[in-house]
Amino acid sequence: MADTNPGDLDVHLWTARFAALLAKADGVSASTLFAKQAAWRDLLAFTWTIKTFEGRNAIGDLLRTKLTNIDPTNWAVEAEPDADEGWLSFETRFVPCKGYVRLENGQALTFFTALQDLHDHEEPSGKRRPSGLYDDDGDKEGGTRNWRDRQRNEQASLGRDRQPYVLIVGGGQGGLALGARLKVNNVPSLIVDRHDRAGDAWRTRYKSLTLHDPVWYDHMPYIPFPDSWPIYTPKDKLGDFLEAYAKIMDLNIWNGTEFTAASYDEESKRWNVTVERDGVPLQLQPTHIVMAVGNAGFPRKPDFPGASDFTGEQYHSSEYTSGEEFAGKRVVVIGANNSAHDICADLVNHGIQPTMIQRSSTLVLRGSTNSKMARPLYSEEAVEQGLTTDRADFLNASMPMRMSEQAQKQIWTQVAKSDADFYASLTNAGFQLDFGEDGTGLFMKYLRTASGYYIDVGAAAMVADGRIALKSGVEVERLTDTALVLSDGSELTADAIIYATGFGSMEQWVERLISPEVAKKIGPCWGYGSGTTGDPGPWEGEIRNMWKPTAQEGLWFHGGNLQQSRFYSRYLALQLNARFKNVEIAI
């Protein structure tokens, strides 16, 4: 097949040619159906990992090395005639898969492939759901017909008479979403969480907190939020939902349990884990550990000279609860991202004028603009048009990182224009703005560092009109007994300082809970090698170490916002389920 002049191929014709060449194991010719700058993102279908291949040569190498073993067949297209993008389905000898292709001048510009289930081990949900009858589903040997008794027996035996195959560390949305996926697929798993109840990771945060993403973006696997749910979820309401979710999904969760140590036994291929439950050390031997402790490490609190001399109160934002505690006090908030804005707004609502110290520029996005940007995939309108959450997630994931950067630059150029008056109100107040180091905006910044931005739900207007006092472009040089001395020579008298200065990296948890050696072995978590501040290269094109095998056998990471927890829990669970069911894995 000629390298040029691909003709006016639509999705149907392109897929037919692609399938024919794959059937001949002619990966070289198949790669010419891709544009030279094309990118193929694969979630387990061809690689059993999460990986993006950029450029025709890399795609050709993938096909050359994988075709014989993978044997993709039964290609089908779900697209309108003459469409230049559309959904695909196919099978490998391991699994049923789906895909999405975007064509440019008859060649594939982006190609996305993703495993959907496991042959002979399909998820028992939907049409394959269990009957619930004892004779079909019960433990017939010494078991009981009562569901509650069977549940209690399972939970009592797990970790004692029977070891969990997967131990999930963390019971927030990530741990619960993965636990639900594994539970449905009958993979023995146990969640350990230091909080007293499921959902407490949210309940214990500051009282005024609501989610900054709209509800359509935030559904949990299997159980979406009700249609009457508010667009922006209050944190206590979310905590209650997550607690109910854990109960409804029959999750095995040990709350009030500290994960204290772990080491990997190369001979048995299992972990030796120590947890402390109700003050009693217990030993567990899971095959896999999943760190589902969020996408950050420990609270980061600057150690300013003179900090020990300051006679007022000092808190990290993670310790802040409510402005009620600061009545009549002069409060300084150091930082200018999400938590800083939320805390300042809460203080204003309690009759306090806080001072925000903005040490570097911040990316700000209006909440209404954020919802507008999400609307094509996540909105009431999208639902009415038949775009399910699963399909929206799939489309969201189908754009490779390099292409996302290019698209986001264009989007943010338009955002800057359309919201020019909003941004002018901030800059006129002295607030320092950016749209990402390279103009790619909030989404890419989040994927790089998970920080450095604010989705506005009201605080921006308070900055603009002075209800939140602002000191921008300055550093704190030192503290005295009653004040902060700033780099511009000014002093701020304060009764309380709140450090909204973020958190460290995820690998800190590994260093503390497992070992510095394992943390060094796996390397950085989060970011994709963009080469920007906080996300050093080399370029990887996928989030580092997340939802896929790491350099440490049996150690996995799961985290992110609710959308990521929902979507990627599926693919992490598929990998763990395949290993538990002894499905042949071709890596």
Average pLDDT over residues 452-479: 96
Sort strands 107-115 and 96-104 into parallel, antiparallel or unpaired: antiparallel
Check residue 69 and give its pLDDT.
86
Last residue in a domain, options 499, 518, 540 = 499
Average pLDDT over residues 168-183: 97
| pLDDT class of 135 with cuts at 50, 70, 90 | low
* Percent of the chain topping pLDDT 90: 86
Asked whether residue 312 falls in the same domain as residue 374, the answer is yes
Q: Domain total for the chain?
A: 3
DSSP secondary structure letter of residue 321: -
Asked whether residue 221 falls in the same domain as residue 271, the answer is yes
> What is the residue range of 70's domain?
11-115
From residue 69, give the alpha-carbon distance in Å to each of 30, 72, 76, 114, 572: 16, 9, 21, 17, 22
Average pLDDT over residues 379-407: 95
Is 122 within the bounds of a domain? no
Asked whether residue 453 falls in the same domain as residue 318, the answer is yes
Three-state DSSP class for 408? helix
Query: Minimal CA–CA distance to 393: which of 209, 577, 224, 211?
Result: 224
The better pLDDT of the pair 44, 451 is held by 44
The CATH number linked to 259 is 3.50.50.60
CB 344 within 8 A of CB 468: yes
Check residue 264 and give its pLDDT.
97
Is 141 within the bounds of a domain? no
Asked whether residue 259 falls in the same domain as residue 358, the answer is no
Residue with tokens 């939902």: 241
485 pLDDT higher than 50: yes
Asked whether residue 489 falls in the same domain as residue 513, the answer is no
Length of the chain: 587
Three-state DSSP class for 241? helix
CB 292 within 8 A of CB 170: yes
Is 126 within the bounds of a domain? no
The CATH number linked to 64 is 3.10.450.50
Check residue 155 and give its pLDDT.
83
3-state secondary structure string, 151-219?
HHHHHHHECCCECCCEEEECCCHHHHHHHHHHHHCCCCEEEECCCCCCCHHHHCCCCCCECCCCHHHCC
**Residues 586, 46: Cα–Cα separation, whole Å:** 8
Q: What is the pLDDT of residues 207-238, one digit of tens each?
A: 889 998 999 999 999 999 999 999 999 999 99
**Residues 318, 301: Cα–Cα separation, whole Å:** 10
Asked whether the CA dihedral 426, 299, 526, 94 is positive or negative, the reply is: negative
Asked whether residue 545 falls in the same domain as residue 487, the answer is no
Asked whether residue 162 falls in the same domain as residue 196, the answer is yes
Those residues with Cβ within 8 angstroms of residue 391's Cβ, 6 or more apart along the chain or in another chain: none
| pLDDT class of 139 with cuts at 50, 70, 90 | low
Check residue 21 and give its pLDDT.
96
Asked whether residue 162 falls in the same domain as residue 284, the answer is yes
DSSP secondary structure letter of residue 224: P
Check residue 451 and give its pLDDT.
83
DSSP state string for 422-467? HHHHHHHTT--B-S-TTS-HHHHHHHHHS-SEEEESSHHHHHHTTS
Mean of pLDDT over the chain:
93
Check residue 160 and give its pLDDT.
84
Prior bond to 286 cis, omega within 30? no
**Residues 528, 54: Cα–Cα separation, whole Å:** 14
Those residues with Cβ within 8 angstroms of residue 239's Cβ, 6 or more apart along the chain or in another chain: 197, 199, 200, 201, 202, 203
Is 287 within the bounds of a domain? yes
Three-state DSSP class for 355? strand
Asked whether residue 166 falls in the same domain as residue 216, the answer is yes
Q: What angle do CA 232, 565, 563 make, to 5 degrees?
A: 40
Q: What is the pLDDT of residues 54-81, one digit of tens each?
A: 999 999 999 999 888 889 999 999 988 8
Last residue in a domain, options 475, 499, 523 = 499
Structure tokens at 541: 């094109």
Average pLDDT over residues 495-524: 94
Query: Minimal CA–CA distance to 110: which of 429, 368, 401?
Result: 401
DSSP state string for 262-287? EEEETTTTEEEEEEEETTEEEEE--S
Environment class of 266 (CB within 10 Å of its CB; exposed 0-12, middle 13-18, buried 19+): exposed
Average pLDDT over residues 338-364: 96
Those residues with Cβ within 8 angstroms of residue 8's Cβ, 6 or more apart along the chain or in another chain: 106
Asked whether residue 490 falls in the same domain as residue 529, the answer is no
Question: 524-540: b or e for each residue (b if 16 or more CB lie within 10 Å)?
Answer: ebbbbbbebeebeeeeb
Is 150 within the bounds of a domain? no
Asked whether residue 395 falls in the same domain as residue 427, the answer is yes
Average pLDDT over residues 270-282: 94
Is 208 within the bounds of a domain? yes
Check residue 492 and give its pLDDT.
96
141 pLDDT higher than 60: no
Asked whether residue 406 falls in the same domain as residue 526, the answer is no
Query: Minimal CA–CA distance to 35: which of 86, 101, 79?
Result: 101
Q: First CA to last CA across the chain, in angstroms?
A: 29
Is 144 within the bounds of a domain? no
CB 39 within 8 A of CB 402: yes
Structure tokens at 395: 């489309």
CB atoms under 10 Å from CB of 214, counted, come to 19
Structure tokens at 478: 């030192």
**Residues 583, 570: Cα–Cα separation, whole Å:** 17
37 pLDDT higher than 50: yes
CB 168 within 8 A of CB 175: yes
Last residue in a domain, options 454, 482, 499 = 499
